[in-house]
A and B are shown apart, each in its own frame.
Chain A
């Protein structure tokens, strides 16, 4: 049984913070391809195009018939055939996290694999393997108990592979929006200690303000993503006290490119969503990175919520889609940077939001509750990319299958 996590003590300011080392990062291209799929929450292995056998570790050709390989979703059951508790390591990250348990797993899909073991898993057990990302964004097989056990998510090894909100302090950038409020509430329900809730204009009331600010754990803060100084000031105040940052800022307007679009809308969207994301990252990435291996309350993640149409463009929402595209691109670059410091960079993808700017779009549309649920799931699972709703899932599936076709379809 897992010991429940206890609320971390206030930090002793004289104790040196543990440097945020990441586990060894050298990987083959095939391992990186596995990571890309792991980031979307899939459990995949390479399967031979000719003999249909699954293989692991990551190869470039089938070891049974020399056929070509492709990534396919596979059954994730396994049996642990041997285990060890590592008590000595020369790696800069693991030597601070000993003892560390690993095992040899026989996968239902066929291959043997070395896997991380959850504390409730032992030799001889049937397990459920999850394909996680490690702190450096590389693929990691993690053996979970087959059935839920008490305080399962609190397992210290598992927490290295997730960004679970429990006892963490979160900054949500835009509390003035319904999305920001839903996300803040969901994070507190998931165990977050505090949600610092951003407000770009403290002198102006906003809908829902009284209810949300009355919830224990909510701390309103002044934050405007279009104002570099406001971010610098807040980062100076909160930098050492925030473990997760969730960017809920959004600026959607209808309009095309040659027809019906307003340049001022595009400029406002770019300033808030794109330049704003970069301001936010420049303000908080260094502080998060410095505390990525800081005990039970390590800094863990930066989450951004963006439209799925950033992948494709969208007829009638050209400017907003272009803004989302820039936002996704910045996130991809930031992910590469933060992989060196052990902070997860996550994107929640949404379809058209159920709000006043999408009145002409037929349902289904994305609700604030769906977005909040996706944020919490991504953090709890350590998942890099997650779709909040059915529209986003559908567009992403088609885009993965055939990007150039999907781009045409969405801009008709």
Chain B
């Protein structure tokens, strides 16, 4: 297989988060505009200045990136629409980076935005995908909770991982969220509270589930020269991977596409897991966090329980995990939930966090996981980001 070429001449900058709301009477268009307005405040730029636009959303229907461009007065010479939810941040990053590197665009706004109106979650689920409409939702309509319950049931027995292990991940993320003023969850979560939570779909309990909400996330991909001109701190993209529908032959999902490509990621990056100052991972259900930790090379699955016990996942810990609280504690704003790993990782290495700073953070591992089309997450991706210039 051809080796990935380096992302020379690409700068990542200006991560923004539009504070989440549990329910919103505004549209995805409104939230997208709010994210662009936040980018404008950071950069002093307006609609005419962006020549690239990369967009992710579930609730903008019937519009795609096309409708959004006209709605918000953009005139890009490059655009893309990423429909992959939890994997959309990494994918937007990769696509925008190559567009900038090759000169197809110079200044790309990557935006994910979703609203959450009363009952919109149910309506989104009903028409989510053909396989789920035909073969998942009629089976009790437990939504993603039920699908991930089946995955968790199998995973926990196969690798001897327990709810106690998941508790540690969730409690650490909640501790991280407490310094993030935007996090929807504002109270500490104790181990006992996690363990005693009400069952939702066995073995999934309340604190394994995210809180759907409205919100938006955005960042800019541009050239180092342009970033300098705008006075923006920058990160470089060390390496990325992306894979969809990997291991289709597996029965119940126990691994994601990362497991297939992870060696390529680390060899292209020139680093290993031990060099990362943090992991910003997709976390809708802690079983998926555990799966990623193993598939991304931090440990093998048989030793996951031990690895979790030996690791401190808080901001001051040995491997800070989802330092804004992740979707579990900050909220899941639809496709924006798939961008917050990128924006939070960027903020930490650019030393401009929403909450507490990881001391001397230089490198972030970002991991995305998206779209339960039927019985498993289909889309996976990961990226290694590294601090370049602080301004």
Q: Which residues of A contact B (CB under 8 A)?
A: 23-24, 26-28, 30-31, 56-58, 63, 81-91, 93-94, 100-104, 106, 112-116, 123, 134, 138, 140
Selected from B139, B153, B199, B251, the residue in CB contact (under 8 A) with A112 is: B251
Report the separation of the CA atoms of residues A27 and B147 in the bound assembly, to the nearest whole angstrom.
19
Report the separation of the CA atoms of residues A138 and B133 in the bound assembly, to the nearest whole angstrom.
11
66-114 of chain B: CB within 8 A of chain A: none
Selected from B122, B131, B252, the residue in CB contact (under 8 A) with A57 is: B131
Q: A26-B126, A94-B140 are in contact. Are A81 and B134 (CB under 8 A)?
A: no
Report the separation of the CA atoms of residues A100 and B202 in the bound assembly, to the nearest whole angstrom.
11
Does B27 count as interface, using CB distance less than 8 angstroms?
Answer: no
Report the separation of the CA atoms of residues A83 and B151 in the bound assembly, to the nearest whole angstrom.
9
B199 contacts A87, C-beta separation under 8 Å: yes
A84 contacts B150, C-beta separation under 8 Å: yes
A91 contacts B141, C-beta separation under 8 Å: yes
- CB nearest to A63 among chain B residues: B248
Q: Which residues of A contact B251 (CB under 8 A)?
A: 81, 104, 106, 112
6 interchain pairs, CB-CB under 8 A: A57-B131, A91-B137, A100-B140, A113-B135, A114-B136, A114-B139
- CB nearest to A32 among chain B residues: B134
* B125, B130, B131, B142: most-surrounded residue (chain A CB, <10 A): B142
Q: Which residues of B contact A114 (CB under 8 A)?
A: 135-136, 139, 147, 150, 374-375
* B134, B136, B138, B141: most-surrounded residue (chain A CB, <10 A): B138
- CB nearest to A88 among chain B residues: B200
A112 contacts B375, C-beta separation under 8 Å: yes
Q: Which residues of B contact A94 (CB under 8 A)?
A: 140-142
Q: Which residues of A contact B154 (CB under 8 A)?
A: 81-82, 104
Report the separation of the CA atoms of residues A334 and B203 in the bound assembly, to the nearest whole angstrom.
42
Selected from B126, B151, B198, B202, the residue in CB contact (under 8 A) with A24 is: B126
B134 contacts A86, C-beta separation under 8 Å: no
Q: Which residues of A contact B374 (CB under 8 A)?
A: 57, 114
B210 to chain A, nearest CB (A): 14
B252 contacts A88, C-beta separation under 8 Å: no
Q: A27-B134, A113-B135, A114-B136 are in contact. Are A86 and B150 (CB under 8 A)?
A: no
Selected from B135, B140, B141, B203, the residue in CB contact (under 8 A) with A56 is: B135
Report the separation of the CA atoms of residues A26 and B123 in the bound assembly, to the nearest whole angstrom.
12
Q: Which residues of B contact A101 (CB under 8 A)?
A: 140
Selected from A89, A104, A138, the residue in CB contact (under 8 A) with B142 is: A89
B141 contacts A87, C-beta separation under 8 Å: no
Report the separation of the CA atoms of residues A226 and B374 in the bound assembly, to the nearest whole angstrom.
51
Report the separation of the CA atoms of residues A288 and B248 in the bound assembly, to the nearest whole angstrom.
44
Selected from A26, A58, A88, A106, the residue in CB contact (under 8 A) with B201 is: A88
A83 contacts B153, C-beta separation under 8 Å: yes
- CB nearest to B142 among chain A residues: A86
Report the separation of the CA atoms of residues A12 and B151 in the bound assembly, to the nearest whole angstrom.
43
A26 contacts B142, C-beta separation under 8 Å: no
Q: Which residues of B contact A113 (CB under 8 A)?
A: 135
Q: A88-B142, A114-B139 are in contact. Are A30 and B201 (CB under 8 A)?
A: no
B140 contacts A57, C-beta separation under 8 Å: no
Report the separation of the CA atoms of residues A100 and B136 in the bound assembly, to the nearest whole angstrom.
13
In order of increasing CB-CB distance, the 9 nearest A-B pairs are A91-B141, A84-B149, A57-B135, A86-B142, A100-B140, A82-B154, A31-B134, A86-B140, A82-B150
* A86, A103, A112: most-surrounded residue (chain B CB, <10 A): A86
A86 contacts B131, C-beta separation under 8 Å: no
Q: Which residues of A contact B150 (CB under 8 A)?
A: 82-84, 102-104, 114
Report the separation of the CA atoms of residues A113 and B147 in the bound assembly, to the nearest whole angstrom.
12
Report the separation of the CA atoms of residues A187 and B134 in the bound assembly, to the nearest whole angstrom.
34
Q: Which residues of B contact A84 (CB under 8 A)?
A: 142, 146, 149-150, 153, 201-204
- CB nearest to B130 among chain A residues: A28
Does B62 count as interface, using CB distance less than 8 angstroms?
Answer: no
* B131, B140, B198: most-surrounded residue (chain A CB, <10 A): B140
Q: Which residues of A contact B121 (CB under 8 A)?
A: 90
Q: Which residues of B contact A85 (CB under 8 A)?
A: 199, 201-202
Q: Which residues of B contact A91 (CB under 8 A)?
A: 122, 137, 141
Does B44 count as interface, using CB distance less than 8 angstroms?
Answer: no
B138 contacts A24, C-beta separation under 8 Å: yes
Q: Which residues of A contact B127 (CB under 8 A)?
A: 26
Does B341 count as interface, using CB distance less than 8 angstroms?
Answer: no
* A23, A83, A87, A123: most-surrounded residue (chain B CB, <10 A): A87
Selected from B130, B134, B151, B200, the residue in CB contact (under 8 A) with A82 is: B151
Does B33 count as interface, using CB distance less than 8 angstroms?
Answer: no
Report the separation of the CA atoms of residues A235 and B135 in the bound assembly, to the nearest whole angstrom.
38
* B125, B131, B248: most-surrounded residue (chain A CB, <10 A): B131
A90 contacts B135, C-beta separation under 8 Å: no
B291 to chain A, nearest CB (A): 14
Report the separation of the CA atoms of residues A138 and B134 in the bound assembly, to the nearest whole angstrom.
9
Q: A24-B126, A81-B251, A112-B251 are in contact. Are A87 and B200 (CB under 8 A)?
A: yes
Report the separation of the CA atoms of residues A226 and B102 in the bound assembly, to the nearest whole angstrom.
80
* B127, B145, B150, B200: most-surrounded residue (chain A CB, <10 A): B150
Q: A81-B251, A85-B202, A86-B145 are in contact. Are A134 and B135 (CB under 8 A)?
A: no
Report the separation of the CA atoms of residues A134 and B137 in the bound assembly, to the nearest whole angstrom.
12
B201 contacts A115, C-beta separation under 8 Å: no
A27 contacts B133, C-beta separation under 8 Å: yes
Report the separation of the CA atoms of residues A192 and B135 in the bound assembly, to the nearest whole angstrom.
33
Report the separation of the CA atoms of residues A83 and B201 in the bound assembly, to the nearest whole angstrom.
10
Q: A28-B130, A84-B204, A88-B145 are in contact. Are A138 and B151 (CB under 8 A)?
A: no
B143 contacts A28, C-beta separation under 8 Å: no
- CB nearest to B149 among chain A residues: A84
Report the separation of the CA atoms of residues A84 and B146 in the bound assembly, to the nearest whole angstrom.
7
B127 to chain A, nearest CB (A): 7
Report the separation of the CA atoms of residues A86 and B204 in the bound assembly, to the nearest whole angstrom.
9
A77 to chain B, nearest CB (A): 15
Q: Which residues of A contact B135 (CB under 8 A)?
A: 31, 56-58, 113-114
Q: Which residues of B contact A83 (CB under 8 A)?
A: 150, 153
Report the separation of the CA atoms of residues A93 and B133 in the bound assembly, to the nearest whole angstrom.
15
352-391 of chain B: CB within 8 A of chain A: 374-375
B138 contacts A23, C-beta separation under 8 Å: yes
* B139, B142, B147, B153: most-surrounded residue (chain A CB, <10 A): B139
B376 to chain A, nearest CB (A): 9
Report the separation of the CA atoms of residues A101 and B121 in the bound assembly, to the nearest whole angstrom.
22
B134 contacts A28, C-beta separation under 8 Å: yes
